[in-house]
Chains A and B, each alone.
Chain A
Amino acid sequence: MTRPRLPFEWLVALRYLREGRLQTVLILAGVTGGVAVIIFLTTLITQLQASIVERTLGSQAHVVLRPPEEVNRPVLPPGETAAIVQPRAQRPRSVDQWEAVTRLAAGQPGVIAVSPVVSGAGFAIRGTTNKAIALLGVDAERYRRIVDMDRYMLRGRFAVAGTDTVIGIELAADLGVTLGDKLRVTTAEGRDEVLTIVGVFDIGNRDLNRRWLFTTIKLAQSLLALPGGVSNIDLKVVDIFAADRVADRLRAQTGLTVDSWMQTNAQLLSALRNQSVSNSLIRSFVVVIVAVGIASVLVVSVVQKQREIGILRAMGASPGRIMTVFLLQGAIYGLVGSAMGAGLADGLLHFFSNVYRNADGTRLFTADLDGALILRVCALAIVVGLLAAALPARRAARMDPVQAIKM
C-alpha cells in the first residue's frame, strides 16, 4: 500500500493520478492518440517521400555539369541601334578541360561519385526498323556509382567495351533483338557502327527503356564527332537535399552550366515540401489539442484538490513543491502517453503496411519505427505536458491556504 521511499512530490503526484482514475485514463488516451498520430504520420510521410525521391533519383544524377550555353553578342552597344538578336542553335560541344573539371568536382566536399558522359542523339537500326535513341558513352564502372544499373539489369551485365552495348527492354522489343544480337547505330554526323548487345535493362521508366543506349566513351566520341571530349559530367552527392549547394559552388568555380536534381525536379520538390508543411501543421494542431486537454484536466484537478492543497501548505509544503506536484502530473501524462502512443503507432504501422500495397504487391511502406523519432516525440510530449501543467500548477501554488481550507 505505502510507497515509503518516494519523494513527497512524486508520492502526491502519483496518488492524485491514481485517485482521478477516469480523468487520468481519458487524458492518457488523448495523449496516446495524439502521439500515435504524430509518429504514424511522420513515419509514413518520411518513408513515402524517401521512396518517391529514390525512384526519381534512381535514374538520374544529382548534379550535372554541362558546357555553358552559347549566346550571340551584338557588336554594337545595346540601346543605340535597333537590333534583333536571334538565339543561337546549341551544337554539341565538349566540356572545356573536362578532365580537370572532373578532378575538381571529385574533390568537392559531399561529392561521392563523378562520371563523365558523352551523350547525343542517334538512330538504332535493325533491318528495316529504326528508332530514335539517346546515345550514352560512359565508363561503366564510374557510371554505376551514379545510377545503380546493376539493379535494373534484366539480362546480361552492365559492361561496355569495344563495340558492346547495353539497351533498354522496350528498345529491344521494338527492334526485336536480344542478348548477343547486333544492331547498327547512326548519328546526324553521318557516322555509324555495328554494336553487340551484352545487356538489357529495365529502369522502371518506359521512355528511358525505349531511348537509352550505352556504349563506351570512345565509341560515343567518334559517333558524335566529339573527339576527346565529353558532353556532360554527372555527380552523385551524399546529402541529396544539399545538391543545390554543391551545384552553386561548382557553377561559381567552373563557369559551366550546373544543374542539380532539385532544379530539374522543382515541381516534385515543391510537392514534397507542401506535404511536409501539411504534416507539420497537423502535428502542431495535435500538439495544441493535447496540451489543452492536459491543461484542462489539471485545472479541474486543482479546483477539486483546493482543500488538500491548503492542508499540505498548512503542514509545511512550500508553494514551489505544490507547483512541482502538478508539473509532475503533466510530465507523467506526457511520458506515459508517449510510450503508449509509440506502441499504438507501431501497431498501426504494422496493420496498414499489410493493407496498403504497391501495384507490384510490395509494401507501400514498412513498419520500421525510427528510434530517434520516438525519442524526439517523447521529449516533445513531456515538454508539452510540463508547459500545459504550468498554468494549473501556478494556480495551485498561489492558492491561499486559509481560503483553500475554508472551502
Chain B
Amino acid sequence: MPMAAIVELAAIRKSYGIGTPVEAEVLHGIDLRIGQGEFAALTGPSGSGKSTLLNIVGLLERPTAGRLEIDGRDTSVLAESDLTELRGRTIGFVFQFHHLLPGFTALENVMMPRIIERGAADDGAQAAAIELLRRVGLRGAEYKRPSQLSGGMQQRVAIARALSMSPRLILADEPTGNLDTHSADDVFALLREFNHDFGSACLIVTHDPRLAQRCDRQVEIVDGRLTDGSSPPAI
C-alpha cells in the first residue's frame, strides 16, 4: 500500500508576466507526489524552475494551472488567509540565506512561528525552543543575535525554527549552499535526524550531487519538466 501523500502535484504550470510581451512559462506541467515522512532531493541546473516549484509547494506562490494538494487539501479553493494558516501549521522553511530576524535573539527566532500561530508566546513555547536549540547543538546561544553567530550556527537556528511547529513538511532551499563542507554535513545530518525522529517529510533543493545522493529519492527538474518522464515531452 502506498504511503499517504503530504504533497500531491498534478499538471502544475506556472507562467510569469502573463499578458505582457515577456510572458514565459517556467513550469510546464509537473506531476509529483511526496509521501508522508519522505526525504527527497530536488536537483537541477540554475533556472530550471527548482525554486519556483518549491515556492508553489510552500504555498508562497499560486500555480497558473494544475492541482496542488497539501495534506489532502485542494489548495486552489483556499482563500489567501487559509493558505497562510495552512502554511504556518504544516510547512517549515529553511532558506539558503538563513533569513533569521536580525532584531530578535536565536531563542525568539525559534519561538516566532509559535508566537505567530498562538498570538503570543505561551508556557511551552520557550521550553520547546530551548530544547530545539539544544538538539541543533546551540545550547548557550539562546540569547545571541543572529549577527553574533557563524553561518553554520545561523542555519542551525533556522532549522530549529523550521521545526518549531513540528511541521509535516520541511522545505529547504539550498540549505547548505552557503556553508563550508563541514557545516553543510552537520546541517544535512540534522535534517536527516529530524526526518527520522519526527517523521517530517523533507524536500531539499540542492546543487550538491553528494548531498542529493544521500537522500531517499532524487527528483530532477530540467527546463521546467521533471526528468522522470512524468512531464509531457517538449514539443
Contact = CB atoms under 8 A, between A and B. Distances in A.
A binds B: yes
Interface string A311-322: 111111111010
A287 to B, nearest CB: 30
A282 interface: no
Q: How large is the interface on B (under 10, 10 to 19, 20 to 34, 35 or more residues)?
A: 20 to 34
B60 A11 contact: no
A316 B60 CA distance: 10
Interface residues of A, number: 28
A309 to B, nearest CB: 10
A239 B46 CA distance: 80
Contacts of A313: 84
B120 A5 contact: yes
Contacts of B117: 316
B113 A315 contact: yes
Nearest to A321: B116
Contact of A312 (B60, B116, B119, B126): B116
A315 B116 contact: yes
B101 A308 contact: yes
B198 interface: no
A1 B143 contact: yes
Given A315-B112, A315-B113, A401-B60, A4 B101 contact: no
A8 B60 contact: no
A8 B126 contact: no
Interface string B91-126: 001010001111111011000110111011100011
B193 interface: no
Contacts of A307: 99
Given A5-B120, A6-B120, A311 B99 contact: yes
A80 interface: no
B88 A15 contact: no
A15 B55 contact: no
Interface in A6-29: 6-8, 11, 15-16, 18-19
Contacts of B104: 15
B116 A317 contact: yes
Given A4-B125, A18-B103, A314-B93, 11 more contacts: A1-B105, A1-B143, A2-B143, A308-B101, A312-B112, A314-B60, A315-B113, A315-B161, A317-B116, A318-B84, A405-B95
10 contacts: A2-B107, A4-B125, A5-B121, A8-B116, A308-B103, A311-B100, A314-B87, A318-B81, A318-B85, A402-B60
Interface of A: 1-2, 4-8, 11, 15-16, 18-19, 307-308, 310-319, 321, 401-402, 405
